[in-house]
Structure 1
Amino acid sequence: MFFILSKVLHYFLMPFIWVLVLLLLAFFLKSLRWRKHCLTGAISILLLFSNPFLANEAWRTWEVKATPVSEVAHYDAAIILGGISSGSSSVPDRVHTRKGADRVLHPLQLYKLGKVNKFILSGGGATLLGKNPASEAEHLRELLLIAGVPTDSILLETESRNTRENATLTAALLQEHPELQKLLLVTSAYHMRRSSGCFAKAGLSTTSYSADFYADDRRFTPDELLIPSIHAFTNWHLLLHEVTGYLIYKLLGYS
């Protein structure tokens, strides 16, 4: 039930939906006063959420900062959370990744530098209807195998559907591997607050290693301060979804 509710909530947190609803109300309401309020609200949301500077400031505030590679110690294993790959029935002969592939590429760099011994890939299927033929963890394993990582250096957790399950099922898996004590947790910078809280709640001591950054350097240029950006507008949905998820997890005691 929690999984289904989280998927439904995903759509209610879209600023585009808010704008669409307000525009429809402005069109159908009989009260001229309320029609003006709805139209003003729609325009305000568009201007606010499409401003690149404000969006970047929000990302800079929320994301967990990067750790320089030179400061990373040696770890028994890097735990990599899914959410960045998918299968494709039309092009099934390769792994398909979305933005966020740095979750794999950055710890792979650490592995090549001798800073990580093994990988723990956590991720099942997160679709509301149906089931993926292969888990996300299996997709990511294919990428690591292509990069030359041996099979015995990769552990899989293939059943989780959300961050809480990433943590609890990975903790169960690690009970079978007591030799893996020093753990590096790798996920997107915006997702690290919720993830690290869940893993701590599951009894695992991990060190955070953020990847996949949305925040950028501050730029006080006209295009950043004044020109609306569709990318800024759409990315707000991701940030609102994550902040809401973090608060709900805190409220429910998941993190």
Structure 2
Amino acid sequence: MISFLSFLVTTPLTYILCPVVCAVFIKNIFWKRMLYGLSVLLFLVFTNTPLFRFAEEQWYKDYDKPLPEGKTYKYGIVLGGYSFWDWDRNRPEFSGIADRFTEGVRLYKLGIIKKLVLASDGSIIESKDGKGLQGNAKGMRKYLDELGIPEEDVLMEVFANNTKENAVFTKKMLGKDLDTASVVIITSAIHMKRSLSAFHAEGIYPDCYITDTWVNIKGQGVSFWPSLGTLVLWPELLHEWVGYVVYKYREN
């Protein structure tokens, strides 16, 4: 039931279709037209790419900055969601937010982070009851070794199912070392604000490094024409907004 309500709140179709449904049951012609007009307006809002881009950039603008020059970190915590384990081909299969992982690897290679912490992901997750999603942590360790990252420099948290659990289980894994160690979180720009809220709630105050940002492509503008592709992007941002509010409510 909670998952269904979450789906309704985080899909723009809910807001577009609600006025239409209400209009069906209202007899007053004026209000019918107003509700239909509202539905059309909301459709134009949720399919407007520049507007969506502005909303998303405002959400992560406070974190859109480089890491302090010359600073190094003991732990680089890469939040999951970037891959699943391909059991048929015995390798990780990466998604569109693979930048979380590749930038973590790059920062390690540059010596900016000393140990790579994979805070759960579809490629390494282990269901405690053996009935849920199963990744392959051993296989991922081998994959990282092939990339030149030795086992002793990789820590894996394999049980978290969401961002809140990422923070709780990572703190449990690293223990008191987090009280003094320098830490940076690496995750998608849109995900950073909610992630920091979850880690702050656990007494962890890391620096942040964002990925998956909007890019200005030379020679290519952003169209104002309605885009169904933009409509599909909104649920992720709405999910972040709702999740952040829920985390703050629980803190209070």
Output aligned runs, 1:162-181, within 5 Å: 162-175=162-175, 181=181
CA pair 92-14 structure 1, distance change in 2 beyond 3 A: farther
1:138 Cα deviation after fit: 6.8
Per mean C-alpha deviation after superposition, the further-off stretch among 16-25 and 102-111 is: 16-25
1:149 is the counterpart of 2:153: no
Report what 2:192 is aligned to. Answer: 192
Secondary structure of the equivalent of 1:175? helix
1:100 is the counterpart of 2:97: yes
Tell me which of 46, 55, 58 is aligned to 1:61: 58
- Residue 104 of structure 1 contacts residue 140 of structure 1 at CA under 8 Å; is this kept in 2? no
1:36 Cα deviation after fit: 3.0
CA pair 7-83 structure 1, distance change in 2 beyond 3 A: farther
Secondary structure of the equivalent of 2:39? helix
1:31 partner amino acid: K
Per mean C-alpha deviation after superposition, the further-off stretch among 243-252 and 91-100 is: 91-100
CA pair 72-61 structure 1, distance change in 2 beyond 3 A: farther
- Residue 19 of structure 2 contacts residue 36 of structure 2 at CA under 8 Å; is this kept in 1? yes
- RMSD, aligned α-carbons: 3.3
What TM-score do you get using the length of structure 1 for normalisation?
0.80
- Residue 187 of structure 1 contacts residue 210 of structure 1 at CA under 8 Å; is this kept in 2? yes
1:232 Cα deviation after fit: 2.1
1:104 partner amino acid: F
* Cα-to-partner distance string for 1:176-214 (whole Å, 9 max, x where unaligned): 76798111111111111111122122122311111121x
1:46 is the counterpart of 2:43: yes
* Cα-to-partner distance string for 1:211-235 (whole Å, 9 max, x where unaligned): 121x34599x9x6363122232221
- Residue 51 of structure 1 contacts residue 224 of structure 1 at CA under 8 Å; is this kept in 2? no
1:29 Cα deviation after fit: 3.6
- Residue 121 of structure 1 contacts residue 140 of structure 1 at CA under 8 Å; is this kept in 2? no
How many correspondences in the alignment?
A: 243
Unaligned runs of 5+ residues in structure 1 are: none
Report what 1:206 is aligned to. Answer: 206
CA pair 32-54 structure 1, distance change in 2 beyond 3 A: same
Report what 2:241 is aligned to. Answer: 243
Report what 1:16 is aligned to. Answer: 13
In 2, Cα distance between equivalents of 1:185 and 1:139: 23
In 2, Cα distance between equivalents of 1:149 and 1:99: 23
2:185 partner amino acid: L
1:115 Cα deviation after fit: 1.1
In 2, Cα distance between equivalents of 1:70 and 1:139: 34
- Residue 167 of structure 1 contacts residue 198 of structure 1 at CA under 8 Å; is this kept in 2? yes
Secondary structure of the equivalent of 1:79? strand
Report what 2:132 is aligned to. Answer: 131
Secondary structure of the equivalent of 2:187? strand
CA pair 57-72 structure 1, distance change in 2 beyond 3 A: farther
CA pair 176-65 structure 1, distance change in 2 beyond 3 A: closer
1:117 Cα deviation after fit: 1.0
1:150 partner amino acid: P
In 2, Cα distance between equivalents of 1:7 and 1:239: 17
Secondary structure of the equivalent of 1:191? helix
In 1, Cα distance between equivalents of 2:22 and 2:37: 12
- Residue 48 of structure 2 contacts residue 230 of structure 2 at CA under 8 Å; is this kept in 1? yes
- Residue 114 of structure 2 contacts residue 153 of structure 2 at CA under 8 Å; is this kept in 1? yes
1:133 partner amino acid: Q
Report what 1:158 is aligned to. Answer: 158
Unaligned runs of 5+ residues in structure 2 are: none
CA pair 12-201 structure 1, distance change in 2 beyond 3 A: closer
What TM-score do you get using the length of structure 2 for normalisation?
0.81
Report what 2:84 is aligned to. Answer: 86
In 2, Cα distance between equivalents of 1:31 and 1:77: 62
- Residue 55 of structure 1 contacts residue 232 of structure 1 at CA under 8 Å; is this kept in 2? yes
| Identity between Structure 1 and Structure 2 (%) | 28
